[in-house]
């Protein structure tokens, strides 16, 4: 059985309460979740209270606790992981911002925020608000951004997860980045 089919089977078995599947699952997804978390947090300040390892553990615990999800494949799992990372980082940022009345966050242009190329802290609250607005009129574009940015998925993986061709996903990605760039710039 291939690793992807193994992972899907383990996800379904773990969801059914199989303790051995649950124990076998974590090592298979940990490295990828850790890589995604490290990417999301690489430009955060050094003294950031949420570390990649803690983010991975929080995401994993929330994911395996999803009893209403019917895991279809690896991409589905990591797509949902990207959504969980987004929620956790935004919740953390809101709490931090609330405690500091403004939080001193730097607003980044989209090309910096999406690629994490800047050396400034990402304003997850502003990005989340902008994605919420985008979702109202272009829900697929918002999902593409979420899966690419927070989930680290490729256009090909997003296309498979959303059941669209890769060209459509590339167009959505470009359009969403342009809209978010304008929204975050102002």
**Tokens 């209270």 sit at which residue?**
49
The closest of 65, 81, 50 to 161, measured between CA atoms, is: 81
* Calpha distance 130→14 (Å, rounded): 35
The closest of 46, 114, 58, 48 to 87, measured between CA atoms, is: 58
pLDDT at site 136? 92
Q: What percent of the chain has pLDDT over 90?
A: 9
For the chain, the 3-state helix, strand and coil shares in percent, each to the nearest 5, are 75, 0, 25
Cβ proximity of 142 and 25 under 8 Å? no
pLDDT at site 2? 53
- pTM, two decimal places: 0.56
The whole-number average pLDDT for the span 137-160 is 87
The whole-number average pLDDT for the span 120-125 is 68
Instruction: Among 65-74, 147-156, 176-185, name the one with the lowest average pLDDT.
Output: 65-74
By CB neighbour count within 10 A (0-12 exposed, 13-18 middle, 19+ buried), where does 158 fall?
buried
Q: How many domains does the chain have?
A: 1
Confidence of residue 168 (pLDDT cuts 50, 70, 90): very high
* Calpha distance 186→180 (Å, rounded): 10
pLDDT at site 97? 66
pLDDT at site 117? 33
The whole-number average pLDDT for the span 126-155 is 87
Domain that holds residue 15: 3-185
């Amino acid at each position: 059985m291939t690793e992807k089919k193994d992972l899907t089977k383990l996800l379904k078995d773990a969801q059914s309460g199989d303790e051995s599947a649950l124990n076998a699952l974590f090592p298979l997804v940990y490295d990828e979740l850790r890589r995604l978390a490290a990417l999301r947090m690489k430009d955060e300040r050094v003294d950031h209270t949420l570390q990649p390892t803690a983010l991975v553990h929080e995401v994993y615990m929330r994911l395996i606790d999803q009893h209403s999800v019917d895991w279809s494949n690896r991409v589905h799992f990591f797509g949902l992981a990207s959504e969980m990372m987004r929620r956790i980082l935004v919740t953390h940022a809101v709490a931090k911002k609330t405690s500091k009345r403004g939080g001193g966050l730097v607003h980044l242009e989209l090309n910096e925020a999406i690629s994490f190329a800047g050396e400034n802290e990402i304003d997850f609250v502003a990005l989340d608000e902008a994605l919420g607005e985008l979702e109202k009129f272009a829900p697929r574009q918002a999902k593409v951004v979420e899966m690419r940015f927070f989930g680290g998925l490729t256009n090909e993986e997003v296309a498979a997860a959303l059941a669209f061709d890769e060209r459509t996903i590339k167009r959505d990605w470009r359009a969403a980045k342009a809209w978010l760039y304008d929204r975050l710039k102002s």
